[in-house]
């Protein structure tokens, strides 16, 4: 048995169903849990004018790390905190504390994989073992009915094969005791301004769907509330396209993104719910959405860095995109003159969250109506979203931009049709664009057509109180 193993926490900030950490506690006499704040993840994207990780994401991460440390202390351990490049920091820690191995969670995307490779090379010099564990998905890639390189390019084909031929592995137990070596320098969790220059913790907007707080404890509490306390799981399929309120969807995505909650634990809770309260389309649909999340992870493994290129996984080099900074800023700031787009972008800017329905529409508007470089939009989502997940985010943007996994060629969202279907009375738009509060429902989603007399009646002057539309919105009315 190795005397000492370092466990490097990454996007698996939990103690339940954490195979790598569980095995570290079983394989070694002592375990040193470590989290490294990678400074590269907080750098400013100078060309685009925002940091790679924005304040909402940073706040959620800081809370998640703090909660992990608290939970480890309850088990007799602690969480060693460092800031820097993980491949450098961890190799130095292994040498300093004579660790025989480093265990960690396997990641799917290119940047993370490159760090694993760099760390592995450094550890070989000192004869330190490096072992990775795949634990971010519902299904394990080794159990799939095809090689990852042969993953189907459409989700439906993937889903049918997996549901028919593959079983989900059971969850791992939570370690009962963590034995930490004596004399370890723990370090401290940085302040947000130490990660992102000139920043402070974001203020919660009362209009937001949920006051997202990071950590395993909060994630499990949210799961219990949504499934068991309020019984919202039974109507998930009917409500999941909502726009306002805490419970139109599960909102598990933030805790899943940082691994505060295991997807397999959610699956087991769904099965327990079905056994006790009954199965229906909604219980299936929540697992269905987890399977979409799996799919984007496996697609990332298959295509590697192609998901980040403007040509996408289709390698479409014929499609041309515009790099118009002015138009991009209008989109970011919710000043396009299209209320449904602007309301969603304001919600994202002020809360770090946006509904799935909103994401599809604003992404389609950027790519298909403004013809802007879709990777800019994906990068902005990466910065802003509290539930940013590299595979789901970039996979979905590939999909909407028409360079990814979509069996329907030239998919296009008619913004007016979408707005009137999902915000029929304009309640969502008026929540985030109060200057349109007096515009009636029949006109709220086409304010660009308001006559001067109507503008006066409704108390909104286009070009002053609310922007004039930067596209001809009447094209949606003709379709």
Q: Look at strands 101-105 and 129-133 and give their pairing.
A: parallel
Q: Using an 8 Å Cβ cutoff, are 430 and 437 in contact? A: yes
Residue 342 token pair: 């602007």
> Is 246 marked as a binding-site residue?
no
Of the candidates 302, 223, 301, the one whose C-alpha atom is nearest the C-alpha of residue 268 is 223
> How many Cβ atoms from other residues are within 10 Å of residue 36's Cβ?
22
Query: Is 291 assigned a ligand-binding role in the annotation?
Result: yes
> Is 163 flagged in the annotation as binding?
no
Length of the chain: 479
Q: Determine contact, residues 346/380, Cβ cutoff 8 Å.
A: no
Are the C-beta atoms of 338 and 432 separated by less than 8 Å? no
For residue 33, list its beta bridge partners.
7
The answer to whether 289 is a known ligand-binding residue is yes
Question: Would you say 290 is a known binding-site residue?
Answer: yes
Is residue 222 exposed (0-12), middle (13-18) or buried (19+ Cβ within 10 Å)?
Answer: buried
388 is in an annotated binding site: yes
Contacts of 313 (CB under 8 A, 6+ apart): 299, 303, 306, 307, 398, 403, 404, 405
Known binding residue 406? Answer is no
Please check if 231 is assigned to a binding site: no
Helix or strand (DSSP H, E) at 219: helix 216-224
- Asked if residue 226 belongs to a known ligand binding site, the reply is no
The rounded distance, in Å, linking the Cα atoms of 349 and 173 is 39
Backbone φ and ψ of 201, nearest 5°:
-65, 130
| Annotated binding residue 236 | yes
207 labeled part of a ligand binding site: no
Residue 97 known to bind ligand: no
249 is in an annotated binding site: yes
SS3 253: helix
Nearest Cα residue to 395 out of 109, 190, 117: 109
DSSP per position, 308-368:
GSTTTTTT--S---B--HHHHHHHHTT-SS-HHHHHHHHHHHHHS---HHHHHHHHHIIII
399 labeled binding residue: no
Count the Cβ atoms, other than its own, within 10 Å of residue 303: 23
Residue 387 assigned to a binding site: yes
Q: Annotated binding site, which residues? A: 236, 249-253, 289-296, 387-389
Q: Annotated binding site for FAD, which residues? A: 236, 249-253, 289-296, 387-389
């Amino acid at each position: 048995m190795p005397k000492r193993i370092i466990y490097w926490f990454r996007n698996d900030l939990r103690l339940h169903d954490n195979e790598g950490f569980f095995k570290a506690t079983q394989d070694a006499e002592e375990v040193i849990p470590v989290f490294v704040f990678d400074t590269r993840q907080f750098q400013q994207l100078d060309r685009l004018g925002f940091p790679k990780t924005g304040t909402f994401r940073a706040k959620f991460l800081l809370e998640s790390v703090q909660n992990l440390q608290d939970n480890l202390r309850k088990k007799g351990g602690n969480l060693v905190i460092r800031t820097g490049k993980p491949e450098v920091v961890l190799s130095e820690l292994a040498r300093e504390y004579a660790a025989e191995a480093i265990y960690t969670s396997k990641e799917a995307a290119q940047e993370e994989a490159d760090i694993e490779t760099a760390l592995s090379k450094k550890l070989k010099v000192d004869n330190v073992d490096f072992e990775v564990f795949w634990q971010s998905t519902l299904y394990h890639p080794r159990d799939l009915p095809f090689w990852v390189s042969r993953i189907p390019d459409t989700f439906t084909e993937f889903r049918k094969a997996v549901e028919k031929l593959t079983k989900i592995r059971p969850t791992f137990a939570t370690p009962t005791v963590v034995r930490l070596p004596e004399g370890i320098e723990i370090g401290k969790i940085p302040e947000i301004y130490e990660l992102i220059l000139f920043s402070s913790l974001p203020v919660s907007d009362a209009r937001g769907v949920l006051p997202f707080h990071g950590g395993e404890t909060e994630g499990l509490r949210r799961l219990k509330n949504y499934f068991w306390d309020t019984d919202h799981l039974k109507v998930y399929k009917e409500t999941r396209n909502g726009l306002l309120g805490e419970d139109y969807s599960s909102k598990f995505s933030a805790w899943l993104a940082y691994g505060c909650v295991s997807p397999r634990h959610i699956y087991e809770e769904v099965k327990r719910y079905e056994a006790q309260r009954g199965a229906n389309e909604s219980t299936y649909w929540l697992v269905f959405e987890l399977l979409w999340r799996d799919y984007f992870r496996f697609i990332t493994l298959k295509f590697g860095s192609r998901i980040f290129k403007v040509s996408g996984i289709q390698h479409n080099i014929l499609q041309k995109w515009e790099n118009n900074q002015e138009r991009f800023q209008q989109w970011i700031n919710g000043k396009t003159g299209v209320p449904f787009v602007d309301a969603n972008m304001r919600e994202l800017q002020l809360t770090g969250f946006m509904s799935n329905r909103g994401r599809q529409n604003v992404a389609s508007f950027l790519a298909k109506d403004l013809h802007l470089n879709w990777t800019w939009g994906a990068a902005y989502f990466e910065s802003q979203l509290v539930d940013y997940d590299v595979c789901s985010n970039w996979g979905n943007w590939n999909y909407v931009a028409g360079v990814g996994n979509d069996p329907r060629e030239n998919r296009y969202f008619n913004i007016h049709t979408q707005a009137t279907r999902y915000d029929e009375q304009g309640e969502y738009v008026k929540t985030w664009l109060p200057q349109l509060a007096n515009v009636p429902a029949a006109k709220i989603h086409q304010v660009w057509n308001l006559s001067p007399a109507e503008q006066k009646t409704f108390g909104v002057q286009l070009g002053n109180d609310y922007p004039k539309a930067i596209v001809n919105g009447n094209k949606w009315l003709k379709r």
